[in-house]
Chain A
Amino acid sequence: MAKGAAGGSDLARQEQRLAYVLLAPTFLILLAIAIYPLLSVFYYSFTNETFASATPTESVGLSNYQNLLSMTIRTVPPKIDETTGQPQVDPDTGETKYQSAVAVLPREPLRFKQLTQFNLFGTQYVLGASDPDFIRSIWDTILFAVVTVFLELVLGMVVALIVNANFKGRGLMRALILVPWAVPTAVSSQMWAYMLQPNRTGFFNTFLWRIGLGGGEIPFLSDPAWQLPSMILIDVWKTTPFMALLLLAGIQLIPGDIYEAANVDGAGAMRKFFQLTLPLLRGTIAVALVFRTLDALRVFDLFQIVLGQARYSMASFTYYQLIQNRAMGYSSASSVIIFIVLSAFAIIYMRSLGVQSNEQ
């Protein structure tokens, strides 16, 4: 239709010209603040550009990427008892003692540092990376994204079903669930950081201590084992409402007579949910999932404010490389990697959403 009309009358040509004129400002602005900087980030990622540094900027090829992503696995030999020639065993735990991982990890051309150690079929291995912080940030961010999005989906569905039910004060409730979403992340991060204090001045430690769990001194934000669960808890609180709203919109699109037919058949609430609501919501859920995954993968505020440099997300790693280390080139390379990861997800999103222009 568009093509036929465009070639036809004056009016259609006028309309087409107007469309281009109206779109021009948006596209010019996006060219200036998105496309141009993106291209320059690609360019910088192949250089050693550093802010306020005396070394001249030069091209370093792929070495930034190499530095960020290089990983290796080495076996760690056990410590040998010099008198017996047998591996040393810790007399208390009965576990074999191993040599220091530093000794087995390569130092040239890149210096590898230990990421983690694991034992497989009786052999001790060390996983080394030239930038363990970055590799860990990728792993942590992906784990964070997968777990938060899953929990948000489940809880968001519960919330959506509740505020979809008929009860007095439903309007108020729908406004209320927007509160976590509306509170600035900087504020909610500080609120939660205070609630998660490592002693009984914090709400959580007091609460758990009252009900007999923990000694009231759980270091939620400094113990590596608790850091990610804490981040996940905060993000689930903050973002479940958004998920619930998306799902609610989907639920409201389901025609009511489908349920009436099910009522006649005498289907229970559970069966109605799993056999009617859930399948009919498949499209909405797919969109919400990928949309939220993209958002979670670029998490910055929460990690930077609550954990600072104790533990990075991909975005906060990039930020600290840029601002703290002034490493423009290195930070750009990590930006590019994030961009590629997110683009892959975005393409899935576009496919599942299916853009239609109803004029064509």
Chain B
Amino acid sequence: MRLFAIVRREYLERVRSKAFLIGTLLGPLLMAAFMIGPSALMSKQRGKPLRVAVLDATAILRASVEKALSEQRIAGQPRFVVEPPGEGPLEVVRASLRSTVLSGAIDGYLYLPPDALARSAAEYHGKNVSNVMDLGLLDKAVEDALIRFRLSGAGLPEARVQELMRRLELKTIRLSESGEREDAGGSFLLSMILLMTLYTTVAIWGGALMNGVIEEKTSRVVEVMVSSISPSRLLAGKLLGVGAVGLTQFLVWAGFMAGLSFFAAQAAAVSGARLPEIPWAVLVLFVVFFLLGYFLYGAMYAAVGASVNSQQEAQSLVFLVLMPLILAVMCFPMVLASPDSTLSTVLSLVPFWTPLLMFLRASALMPPAWQIALSIVLTLGTIVVLNWAAARIYRVGILMYGKRPGFREILRWIGRA
């Protein structure tokens, strides 16, 4: 009953707070801004098309290359504006193009050497040569022009060349037990969003638990509490209460998503656009791995909270706790690239990384059930050990004031009778 009273207090105090309301409402917005922001910013910056000139040493390719360049489009807009290179001997024109680029009047020029056709070689001279997307387009345009030229040279009629040069349209189809579905990068984005949400919520609610422990310590409430209930049950109550707040937040978000996908389905019927669907198994695993991550890291957060006197003092120890989580996030691209490799499998079975990496694998390519089961069992075992140790640190730490104990002394508390 008293355990329940603690759970209820922790739960109500947090759910009623403004921070919870703001975090729950703003969280998805921030996440969306974080995901969509950079690419939106990039497309906006891309802005004006590039002004380029073609300097042709072969004297025969210029027209084809210029035509190919002017046909390149991004989002329906021409990407290149072809400028005349100017008249005169090659070296003179080259020198004047150089100064035009440096003055900023054009963005760059394309140099086709005398043996361009034989070697399939060209050079782009520009101030900015780091925009991979533009350079890719440039590459494609020149290559197209050269092949076209060779085909025409082999005597093929224009219409036939056009037909042979049809571009490839690569569609990606995601295979799963429930069927096939077209996927235009949505599943990558989804995995990333879910992973970041998992990381953020584990870190936020673990941190909230820690701050709660510190608050009880600085307000001396804990002294009253331990005269009513054993420290380990007090800790258990706090862990459960804060964890329930995290679940509540997910419930709210799930509600948002259900509403959103309802409208999205209606919009899709009109526009043909599709949102990636989240399979039920992934949603269930999301909650399972959140709970595993929360109880694993929460135990460590609570131990840190009990060992220090203020939030400032907690900073360096918090970093130690967060370290494995951050490492897991850094492994994200590697695991997503080959979710079923031996390395990914091994990493995802390490209990400290299981909550993030096993979930990531599940969202990308469902691993065999035995691996998921094994990872859950291993993590549960670690949770039991960590919570046992945390309870012992907590029991000693909450009644300690004054100088912050060193890491080694904190470990010594575990062994104290």
* B partners with A: no
Interface residues of chain B, those whose CB is within 8 Å of chain A, are: none
